[in-house]
């Protein structure tokens, strides 16, 4: 899947927590952000008829 870059703003504390998690698990921050967005889209997905 082709990936694109985008920029957003988050609270400083969230960024720090994400950095710590990434260092601890050796999983890239971008992978966690992508997972969070996918989960959010599933949560709010419109039911199909």
Per-residue model confidence as pLDDT tens digits over 23-33: 999 999 999 99
Which strand (E) or helix (H) includes residue 4? Answer: none
Residue-range domain boundaries for the chain: 12-43
Phi and psi based region of residue 29 (left: phi greater than 0; alpha: psi -120 to 50; beta: remaining): alpha
Cβ distance 3 to 14 under 8 Å? no
Percent of the chain at pLDDT > 90 equals 90
Distance CA 4, CA 1 (A): 10
C-alpha angle 15/18/24, rounded to 5°?
A: 140
Q: How confident is the model at residue 47 (pLDDT cuts 50, 70, 90)?
A: confident
Question: pTM for the complete prediction?
Answer: 0.84
pLDDT (mean) for 6-19: 97
| Residue for token pair 């988050």 | 10
């Amino acid at each position: 899947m082709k990936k694109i870059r985008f920029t957003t703003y988050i609270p400083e504390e969230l960024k720090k927590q994400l950095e710590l998690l990434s260092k601890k698990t050796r999983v890239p921050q971008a992978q966690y952000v992508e997972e969070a967005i996918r989960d959010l889209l599933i949560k709010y997905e419109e039911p199909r008829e």
